[in-house]
Copies of this chain bind each other. A is one copy, B any other.
Amino acid sequence: MTKRKIINDPVYDSFLSIDDPVILSVVEHPWFQRQRRIKQLGLTYLVYPGAMHTRFSHMLGALNLMGRALEVLRQKGVKITDDECRGAKLAILLHDIGHGPFSHTSERVLVDVPHEEITLLMMQRINKEMNGALNTAIEIFANRYPKHFLHQLVSSQLDMDRLDYLGRDSFFTGVSEGIVGTDRIISMLNVHDDELVIDEKGIYSVEKFIISRRLMYWQVYMHKTVIAADNLLLNILRRARELNLSTFNFELSTFDLDRFAEVDDDDIMVAVKHWQHSDDATLSTLCRNMVNRRLPAIRFSNEPFEGVETDYFHGTGQLHNRSYDFNDQEIKVLYKDGRCLPISEASDQLDRHFLEKQVTKYFYFYPKANV
C-alpha cells in the first residue's frame, strides 16, 4: 500500500495529498521540519495577531499550487514528463528552505550569506543524502533546465511562490484586500515558446494580482508598526553583537550549514527575553521594550529625514515598492489569435506609466515617550 499524507490547509478548500515517496522524504527532512519554527512574516504578528503562519505552511501551499498548475498545463497539451513534474514540485517545495529566523531583519545583522545561496547549499546536501533524487529540481531551481517555463513556475513575476504567499498572508492577517483569484490565474496559465504565459481571459485576474501585491506591501509588509518592530529587533541584534553576546552570527568564510539549521525564531526570542536582564542598560531596555511590545513611534514621509538623531533608539531608513519589475521578465498574455504581448501593452489600464511607478518612503523612528 502506498503511503499517503493528507494535509489540511485552511487557505485552500482542497486538501494537499502527497503520495510521491521522494516528496514525502523531503517533507520529513529535519531541515524542512525546522521551517515549522520560522514564521513567514516575522514580527508582523505584533500588528496582525493572526499572522503566526510559518514558512513550513507556505512551502506546502506553494507545492499544492504547483501540482494544480502542472495539471492545468498538461491538460492544455504542454508536454511535461513525470520526472519534470516531480522536479518542479521539489523545486517549489524547497525554494525557501534557506531562510533563517526573521530573515528580513537578520540578513542585515546576523547572516552574511544571502538566503538564496543557503537554499542552494541545502538543496545540494539533501540531494547528496538522497542519491541525486533532487537533480532535476536543482536544475529547475537554478534555471539551468532546458524547459525554461518550469523555472518560471518557481520564480518569476507570476510564480507559485507569490501566488501562495499573497493569498496566505491575506488569509492569516485578515486583510481581505489581498485576496487573489488564485484558482482563476492557475486555470489561465499556459506555455508559449517555452515561456509561462497567461491566456487572454486571465488578463483581469493578473491585473488584480499586481494591484493586490502592491496593496499588501503598504498595508502589511511595510506597515508602519511592523517596520518599527523590525528596527527594534535590528538594534537589539546589533547591540548584542557589539557586546559579543550573540551566538547567531554567520559569515560566509566560516559558514556552517548544520549550525545555521539549528537556529529558529524561538532562539532569537528566548535570547531577547534573556537579555532583558543584561547589565548593559541599552540592551536590557531594548529587550524589555520588545518583549512587552513597547514599540518605537515611527513617521513616514515622501522626503528623507535630515538632521535627526540616530542611535539604538532613533533611526531612519527608506522603503520602496514598485508594482511590477521591468528588469525582471514581463508577464505575457497569449491571445487566441496567437499573439503574445507583455502585460504592459496588453492591459488597458495598467500601462507602462502605472507599472513603472516606484514609490519610495522614508521613515524615522524614535521612542514613544519623547515625541
Contacts and interface: CB of A to CB of B under 8 A. Distances in A.
A30 B291 contact: yes
Stoichiometry, as copies per complex, reads 4
Given A179-B176, A269-B266, A291-B30, A56 B60 contact: no
B13 A12 contact: yes
Nearest to A37: B269
B293 A28 contact: yes
A15 B183 contact: yes
A349 to B, nearest CB: 6
B10 A173 contact: yes
Interface residues of A, number: 72
A49 B350 CA distance: 29
A302 B205 CA distance: 20
A9 interface: yes
Contacts of A120: none
Given A53-B52, A56-B49, A183-B13, A292 B30 contact: yes
Interface in A248-304: 262, 265-267, 269-270, 273, 291-293, 302
A211 interface: yes
A54 interface: yes
Contacts of A208: 177, 211-212, 215
A6 B75 CA distance: 13
A354 interface: yes
A329 interface: no
A13 B15 contact: no
Contacts of A39: 52
B293 A172 contact: no
A359 B15 CA distance: 29
A49 B8 CA distance: 8
A17 B291 CA distance: 24
A181 B187 contact: no
B13 A13 contact: yes
A326 interface: no
A359 B353 contact: no
Nearest to A16: B49
A214 interface: yes
Contact of A215 (B33, B53, B175, B204): B204
Contact of A10 (B37, B174, B187): B174
A17 B189 CA distance: 14
B52 A54 contact: yes
Nearest to A68: B14
Interface string A32-46: 010011010000011
A37 B33 CA distance: 20
A267 B11 CA distance: 29
A357 B352 CA distance: 13
A310 interface: no
A207 interface: yes
A9 B175 CA distance: 9
A8 B48 contact: yes
B53 A57 contact: no
Given A8-B175, A36-B49, 6 more contacts: A10-B50, A11-B174, A13-B13, A45-B54, A266-B269, A349-B354
**Closest 8 pairs between A and B when the two form their complex, measured CB to CB:** A10-B174, A52-B52, A8-B174, A13-B13, A266-B266, A177-B208, A30-B292, A49-B57
10 contacts: A9-B174, A10-B50, A12-B13, A15-B184, A30-B291, A37-B269, A50-B57, A52-B52, A208-B215, A262-B273
